[in-house]
Structure formats: C-alpha cells, structure tokens
Amino acid sequence: MPDWVLTRRREIGARIRAARLAANLSQVGLGELVGRDHRTIHRWEYAQRIPDLEDLLLLAAATGVSVADLVRD
C-alpha cells in the first residue's frame, strides 16, 4: 500500500476522533449511536481500518459534522 494511503487513513482517523471528542462522546457512546462496537471506532481512529460511506454518513450525523469535514484533503 502506498504511503499516501496510510497518511490519509491516519488523517481521517484523527478527524473522527476530534469530531467524537467535540461531541463529548466516548468510543462506546459513538459506537452505540452508529451501531458499531467500540473496538471498531478505535480501529477507525487509529487507522487500522477505514469506515465505508454508510459509516461515514452515520459518523457525521452522530457528531454533527459533515462527511466532507471528515474526509477533506
């Protein structure tokens, strides 16, 4: 996998974490809102996995940010 892909995954994960914290949610709380396990939230935040479009829509709605803000370049 190219280095730029890993960099983008880390950036998206950091934005998910920042949005979660700004919404005053724990990983467990966010997981409950989007229907995912807290371990999945952790994996997204630490770039071990990347959320798909449906998950990004749910994350945006749960945290009050736009999908574009989560994935902007």
AA identity, residue 51: P
Model confidence pLDDT, tens digit, residues 12-38: 999 999 999 999 999 999 999 999 999
Q: Is the pLDDT of residue 73 over 80?
A: no
Task: Retrieve residue 28's tokens.
Answer: 């467990």
Domains plus CATH for the chain? 3-66 (1.10.260.40)
pLDDT of residue 51: 97
b/e per residue 34-59 (b: at least 16 CB within 10 A): bebeeebbebbbebeebbeeebbebb
The whole-model pTM stands at 0.94
CB 15 within 8 A of CB 30: no
